[in-house]
Structure 1
Amino acid sequence: MIEKPMYARPAPASTVSGFTAFLFAVASGLAVANIYYAQPLLDAISNEFGLAPSSMGIVITATQICYALGLLLLVPLGDKLDRRKLITGQMLLSVVALLSVGLAPSAAFLFAGIAAVGLLAVVTQTLVAFAASLASPVERGRVVGIVTSGIVMGILLARTFAGSLTDLAGWRAVYLVSAMLTLVMAVLLFRILPNGAQVRQQETLPYWSLIHSVLLLFVQEKVLRIRAALALFIFSAFSILWTSLVLPLSSPPLSLSHTAIGAFGLAGAAGALAAARAGRLADRGHGQWTTGIALSLLLVSWLPISFAVQSLFALVAGIILLDLAVQAVHVTNQSMILSTRPEARSRLTAGYMIFYSIGSATGSIASTLVYGSFGWQGVCWLGAAVSGIALLFWAVTVRYMNDRQP
């Protein structure tokens, strides 16, 4: 069992201002975008270093593996260390990693820098846990919704930003500009965030016991088990769409440019922003109701998405629906999970996001395989099947969950 730490005196619940929540969202989006910049740049990078295009898959794989390692090894430290120093320290290290990529003289330096970028990008999840800790119980869902909206926008807009800046100044400029922005954000957060003396959440467990306790939380908290499984399903569906979407859009009869394809991320961002209100509904005790409606929308979204080749308008409508649904469930998941164990919010976030990573990786691999054999309609049937399983899972488990926040 995980023993709750002894406190000198519980810190009073504080209110997170709109500006502070916005700053958390921007910082989180900027950090997570760093692991997605490389996807539209692989051709440019491989040409500069004389690498075979097939070998550039190592860049994406290394980034995702290191991100998963960071979730397990770094995010739980938020329950042990001063989160203000931990967050700004990781962001400063991210500046060094981004500079090493932007100035890389060889492929070896590039791969090492990309791996470090992926490992340190998990500062995003420490920011989510910190924002939840600073918020009062009645506004926690709202704050988490704002921050996670920033994350989804960072994911969706990273490709557009990277492609556009590469056309203007080359692929290295993407990482150099990101390094500059990350440095500015680290300074802002250090000046604005409360220090450890004001937020007394520190856990006394040794480091490896802290990591082991992430696994114990799955045994002890059924809300974590259920909501992590939902995360796996919804982000599988999310990746099924976004990994394979470029294939039908870039092929005849559409043959859209990379810039035009990247613009579809704006539709996804609109859906993500619209879902920020899901946190408010969770605050009011409507988490289960919100989840059921959102999962139903996720299933329905695949119908207009399936008409992508015939109608780009239908595709945009489907993308907005899908991203709205995924974000709404994601915000509700985190709001419910982070309310269970105030002393373990970073570890709860780490455990939950590991399932997010598994779902994302599974959806990406499955979608490309299915597209190769069955085309776009096969991908849509796959996405609808995963979405249907998620809805069925929620319906089966809803009676085990109390709709009220613990």
Structure 2
Amino acid sequence: MKRNTIWVMAITAGIAVANLYYNQPLLAEMGRSFNASALQVGFIPMLTQIGYALGILLFVPLGDMIERRRLIVTMLAATACALVTAAVSPSIVWLASASLAIGITTIVPQLILPFAAHLAKPGERGEVVGNVMSGLFIGILLARTVSGWIGETLGWRAMYWIAGGLITFLAVIVLKLLPKSQPSLKLSYQKLIHSLLGLIRSQPVLREASMIGFLSFGAFSAFWSTLAFLLEQSPYHYGSQVAGMFGLVGIVGSATAPVIGKIADKKSPRLTVGLGVTITLLAFLVLWFFGLHLWGLAIGVILLDLGAQSTLVSNQARIYSLLPEAQSRLNTVYMVSNFMGGSLGSILGIYGWSWLQWNGVCLVGLSMLAVSLAIFFRGYKCSISVPSQE
């Protein structure tokens, strides 16, 4: 792959995925704007991630049968419309509906990742995916920083207007700079979607990666969906701008994605999956015991993003090596699992906050990660007794 193609893909993935996370530092401000409770506004990130999972399921498999660049540009245009709809929301119900639409249309990163894996040579696939994932994760983290600052200075609606304009500009850039890709798969849409079930039944590595991704990303989302509420109260008393600034702290962890990809290429992606889940669990222990101290919160965020990045990149390196002709569909199964887990983690985090405040959030994260580690070790034992599919 040309280096500039990787850069375009990484930047596009980062800017596009940011739309899913602009709401997290703004939840408290949205609640005040509509006179809504924490539980009511907590449904906004949950619906966004449910929409994302639904959009991946409905549209990402098309990447195996439709020219990818045209599909990417079409979805960017649809995302811009959804963002403008959110910006003019007259009620919390309208905003929740617009957030669902934003999630459904913001699937461009999941079209780009298998596109990049398809263009890369087998020996460099982990590194290329890691580079694109760095752009994606930095987009996730900077989204919180940017939206927190804009929300505090211009109001939460301004963030959606700016994002709509940015996505429109990005669609023009993608049309000019990304290469065309003509898939060879000839299936009806119904058979294409039905083939997902066949992949789930026939690929044990895909099943294991999807279950681990579901739980680990759920824990990740539980933290980020409740951070703004923690920072608003004692001992912090911070606004949305500071909540967003923690995205910059997390970049330290996210910048390691290319290194993780190289380790996965040279060693074993299974090894880095286990390492990622363990680091994420350690992050929640730090957040639980030291999260009411600023230094403890910062260390926890760094570990959390490092662990989440390791798990995601390594799992994707595993699944992309299974069936080269089905990379979009493999990615569909895996990412639907991730974001269904993310939506569950978001709402469980809100319930945990309503129940036991910060202790409740940390208990939710630790519980999900403990189950994730159990699945990992069960798969590890099976891979010793049965020849591995990897």
Q: Under a length normalisation based on structure 1, what TM-score does the superposition of the two structures give?
A: 0.86
Is the alpha carbon distance of 1:164 and 1:90 closer, same or farther for their aligned partners in structure 2, counting shifts above 3 Å?
same
Determine the structure 2 residue equivalent to 1:96: 81
CA distance in 2, matches of 1:105, 1:309: 36
CA distance in 2, matches of 1:310, 1:103: 36
Is the alpha carbon distance of 1:234 and 1:58 closer, same or farther for their aligned partners in structure 2, counting shifts above 3 Å?
closer
Determine the structure 2 residue equivalent to 1:189: 174
Q: Say whether the 8 Å CA contact 1:276–1:328 is kept in structure 2.
A: no
Structure possessing the higher radius of gyration over alpha carbons: 1
CA shift at 1:224, angstroms?
0.4
**Partner letter of residue 274 of structure 1?**
T
Which runs of 5 or more structure 2 residues have no equivalent in the other structure? none
Q: Say whether the 8 Å CA contact 2:152–2:239 is kept in structure 1.
A: no
Matched, 1:163 2:148: yes
**Partner letter of residue 211 of structure 1?**
I
Matched, 1:226 2:208: yes
Q: Under a length normalisation based on structure 2, what TM-score does the superposition of the two structures give?
A: 0.89
Alpha-carbon RMSD: 2.6
1:95-146 residue CA offsets vs partner (Å, 9 max, x unmatched):
2333344456788876664443221101210111111111111111111112
Is the alpha carbon distance of 1:231 and 1:81 closer, same or farther for their aligned partners in structure 2, counting shifts above 3 Å?
same
CA shift at 1:380, angstroms?
2.6
Please say which of residues 377-386 and 235-244 is displaced more in the overlay.
377-386
Which of 224, 238, 241 is 1:256 aligned to? 238
Determine the structure 1 residue equivalent to 2:36: 53
**Partner letter of residue 53 of structure 1?**
A
CA shift at 1:157, angstroms?
2.4
% same residue? 37
Determine the structure 2 residue equivalent to 1:175: 160
Determine the structure 1 residue equivalent to 2:312: 330
CA distance in 2, matches of 1:334, 1:168: 38
Q: Say whether the 8 Å CA contact 2:149–2:244 is kept in structure 1.
A: no
Determine the structure 1 residue equivalent to 2:122: 137
**Partner letter of residue 240 of structure 1?**
A
Matched, 1:339 2:324: no
CA distance in 1, matches of 2:347, 2:95: 24
Which of 201, 224, 248 is 1:242 aligned to? 224
CA distance in 2, matches of 1:291, 1:272: 15
Q: How many residues align?
A: 386
Which of 246, 259, 279 is 1:297 aligned to? 279
Which of 70, 73, 76 is 2:55 aligned to? 70
Which runs of 5 or more structure 1 residues have no equivalent in the other structure? 1-14
CA shift at 1:45, angstroms?
5.5
SS in 1 for 2:290: coil
CA shift at 1:340, angstroms?
0.9
SS in 1 for 2:225: helix
Matched, 1:210 2:195: no
Matched, 1:29 2:14: yes
SS in 2 for 1:306: helix
SS in 1 for 2:130: helix
Is the alpha carbon distance of 1:311 and 1:152 closer, same or farther for their aligned partners in structure 2, counting shifts above 3 Å?
same
1:280-334 residue CA offsets vs partner (Å, 9 max, x unmatched):
1111242122222222222222232123355221221122112101111110000
Q: Say whether the 8 Å CA contact 2:216–2:369 is kept in structure 1.
A: yes
CA shift at 1:207, angstroms?
0.4
Is the alpha carbon distance of 1:363 and 1:106 closer, same or farther for their aligned partners in structure 2, counting shifts above 3 Å?
closer
Matched, 1:394 2:376: yes
